[in-house]
Amino acid sequence: DADVTQTPRNRITKTGKRIMLECSQTKGHDRMYWYRQDPGLGLRLIYYSFDVKDINKGEISDGYSVSRQAQAKFSLSLESAIPNQTALYFCATSDFGYEQFFGPGTRLTVL
């Protein structure tokens, strides 16, 4: 089984809908991250968490929220999706803060 899983893998939704993307990991890492990837822009950090009580904003947190339900679970929510949030979203984990391990990604399309 994969160490970092993301659900769903693909999602198409409409403007204004609430969307939740979920990430689970079995690596036992404390640190978890959410990134989005847009063509030609690379990956940009949305939110990160050092533990269940520690949530931090990244470079592009506006329009997003997160929840760290447990050490192994970190969810990303779009309260009211808009078309420019169409992107590939990646979850990642790390141990003491060095190498990051990425999930397979969720492709989100907002119509």
Partner 1 sequence: AQSVTQPDIHITVSEGASLELRCNYSYGATPYLFWYVQSPGQGLQLLLKYFSGDTLVQGIKGFEAEFKRSQSSFNLRKPSVHWSDAAEYFCAVGAYSGGGADGLTFGKGTHLIIQP
By beta-carbon proximity to partner 1, the closer residue of 17 and 107 is 107
Q: What is the contact mask toward partner 1 in residues 35 to 74, using x (rule: CB under 8 A)? A: x----xxxxxx--x-x---x-x-xx---------------
> Site for partner 1 (CB under 8 A): which residue of 28, 82, 104, 111?
104
* Strand ranges for 1-111 from DSSP E: 4-7, 10-13, 19-25, 31-38, 42-51, 54-57, 65-70, 73-78, 87-94, 100-102, 106-110
Asked if 103 and 76 touch (Cβ cutoff 8 Å), the reply is no
Which residues of this chain interact with partner 1, rule CB under 8 A?
Answer: 30-31, 33, 35, 40-45, 48, 50, 54, 56, 58-59, 90, 94, 96-105
